[in-house]
Amino acid sequence: MRKIVWLAGALALVAAIVWIGTARGEGGAPAAEVEKKEFGFIGSQSCKACHNNPEKGAQFDQWAKSPHANAYNSLLTDESKKICADMKIAKAPHEAPECLRCHVTGWDAKAELLGAKYDRTEGVGCESCHGPAAEWKTPHIKDVPKAMTLGMIHPDEALCVSCHNPESPTYKEFKFEEAMKAVAHPNPKKAQ
Ligand code: HEC
Ligand code: HEC
Ligand code: HEC
Ligand code: HEC
């Protein structure tokens, strides 16, 4: 009898794991899978015309005054030069892959994937969190699930932690809920 209860428990566990696995995939492919395909970057300016209405949360301005929009500029400071010198990185911080990979959107994308409005001085732009938008910009307005198959990403804690981790030379402990409050840009017209 005890053996049967144990077996049922184990089966329930396996079922739960499978269920969680499938549920996470809903609304598009997992971020890691989407990233493997190569989509073009169009720059944060390409979002401004539709996402800067104060009544709908002015996402562009919210982002522009957030630390993310300053992430490239931070690499131009004496502090950054000192960090590179201490780490024995020969290149200037704003040219060093060791720094660019977390401070700039699409920093290592092939030249043909960078649109006319792409600008690396935007730092961590919209597409760092929402995915390279060349192919999803048009469909996402009406059809988010389709946009998800075209490179749109649903940002979650794991995405934040891909940059907010101890590989950052200035790492501060990352608390998702708190950090999210500091950079949130919801649309107040939508029920959250
Ligand atoms: C031509 C207008 C237009 C442009 C350009 C545009 N969007 Fe949107 N976007 C919309 C509309 C309309 C919606 C749906 C209603 C809303 O949330 O305002 C939307 C919804 C969204 C959503 C919410 C999707 C969801 O899960 O429901 C995100 C995130 C988003 N846009 C990001 C972006 C980003 C990033 C860019 C630039 C790469 C961009 N949009 C460019 C019009 C636009
Ligand atoms: C592509 C890398 C990247 C991603 C993804 C990313 N960040 Fe950041 N974040 C940075 C960098 C770089 C800075 C520092 C910007 C500066 O001051 O130059 C920063 C700064 C911040 C800050 C202020 C500095 C601090 O830590 O005290 C907050 C808050 C923050 N990010 C929250 C988030 C949240 C929440 C997410 C996920 C929704 C996220 N970030 C995703 C790179 C990233
Ligand atoms: C793994 C991702 C990552 C890498 C690699 C990285 N950074 Fe950062 N950087 C961040 C994040 C996230 C922040 C926000 C604060 C924190 O948690 O470190 C940040 C903040 C900073 C700041 C602002 C510190 C402050 O709050 O005053 C400077 C300056 C900086 N980084 C310089 C550099 C330099 C120079 C390099 C290359 C040697 C580098 N970073 C590499 C992710 C990274
Ligand atoms: C640091 C990562 C990050 C950056 C950079 C970022 N976003 Fe977001 N964005 C998020 C997260 C996280 C959410 C909340 C997703 C959710 O609702 O679960 C979000 C939500 C949104 C929404 C939906 C708002 C709602 O309440 O329906 C829009 C629209 C949006 N972002 C547009 C933009 C635009 C435009 C930019 C650039 C100007 C941008 N975001 C930059 C992480 C980011």
The average pLDDT across 122-139 equals 98
Q: Is 68 in the pocket of ligand 2 (CB under 6 A)?
A: yes
Q: How far is the CA of 103 from the centre of ligand 2 (A)?
A: 9
Ligand 3 atom closest to Cα of residue 74: 29
Percent share of the chain, pLDDT over 90: 79
Task: Name every residue whose Cβ is closer than 8 Å to that of residue 40 and which is 6 or more positions away in sequence.
Answer: 109, 112, 113, 114, 115, 132, 133, 134, 135
Taking CA atoms only, the protein residue closest to ligand 2 atom 10 is 68
Written as six digits, the tokens of 19 are 């269920």
| pLDDT band, very low/low/confident/very high, at 182 (cuts 50, 70, 90) | very high
- Residues shown for the chain: 192
The pLDDT of residue 18 is: 43
Taking CA atoms only, the protein residue closest to ligand 4 atom 27 is 187
Interval 38-76: pLDDT, tens: 999 999 999 999 999 999 999 999 999 999 999 999 999
21 CB-contact burial (10 Å; exposed 0-12 / middle 13-18 / buried 19+): exposed
Q: Is 65 in the pocket of ligand 2 (CB under 6 A)?
A: no
The pLDDT of residue 37 is: 75
The average pLDDT across 108-129 equals 97
Q: In one letter, which amino acid is 28?
A: G
Q: Is 68 in the pocket of ligand 1 (CB under 6 A)?
A: no
Site of tokens 């981790």 = 165
Written as six digits, the tokens of 43 are 């720059």
Window from 29-43, 79-93, 109-123 with minimum mean pLDDT: 29-43
Q: Return the half-sphere exposure (C-beta side, CA atoms, 13 A cut-off) of residue 150.
A: 15
Task: Name every residue whose Cβ is closer than 8 Å to that of residue 117 and which is 6 or more positions away in sequence.
Answer: 42, 43, 45, 46
Q: How far is the CA of 176 from the centre of ligand 1 (A)?
A: 23
Tell me the average pLDDT of the chain: 88
Window from 21-35, 51-65, 91-105 with minimum mean pLDDT: 21-35
Ligand 2 atom closest to Cα of residue 68: 15
